[in-house]
Structure 1
């Protein structure tokens, strides 16, 4: 199973990974943990909206955007909190 991806060269350790292709476009769906210490960096990254997506273990790279996104917790500012993030990224043609 794929254990990590890169979004704009930021390493994300994934717990679940699913890869789909539709209409010739790649779509990956990942679940990962975000700690209170990493929250600001991840939130800032996700606000960028468009990403260089790399999945080294699969030899996959594409430009992608957020298709779906959710988190189990909204207050990751409190020290020690950990959120479960769910993210779906779809390839965009430039």
Structure 2
């Protein structure tokens, strides 16, 4: 079971982790990962979304001894208003290997 995904140096505690293979923009087979993680409102939301705006990351999954360069292929969130610091949202993120 995977509990942590690291994007550059930004660690996320994750649930529902899945691995797969897809075709990237270069028409080559590429690793994909999909996972969920919870984000609280306020500063945590700001920190996470600012990091995700980078779009492309050095991806590390310590439990699988796996690393690759990946970009966001798909994402969603269960909430759009994060002004309340006591609120939380479930983010779903899919990354695909590039290069």
- Name the counterpart of 2:69: 63
- Name the counterpart of 1:32: 37
Runs of 4+ residues over 3 Å off in structure 1: none
* Runs (5+) with no aligned partner, structure 1: none
Question: What TM-score do you get using the length of structure 2 for normalisation?
Answer: 0.89
- Number of corresponding residues: 93
Inter-partner Cα distance in structure 1 for 2:37 and 2:81: 16
Residue by residue over 1:35-54, the C-alpha shift from the partner in whole angstroms, topping out at 9 and shown as x without a partner, is 11410010001100110100
Inter-partner Cα distance in structure 2 for 1:48 and 1:14: 19
* Runs (5+) with no aligned partner, structure 2: 23-27
Query: 1:1-94 residue pairs with structure 2 within 5 A?
Result: 1-22=1-22, 23-36=28-41, 37-93=43-99
**Considering only aligned residues, what root-mean-square deviation do their CA atoms show, in Å?**
1.0
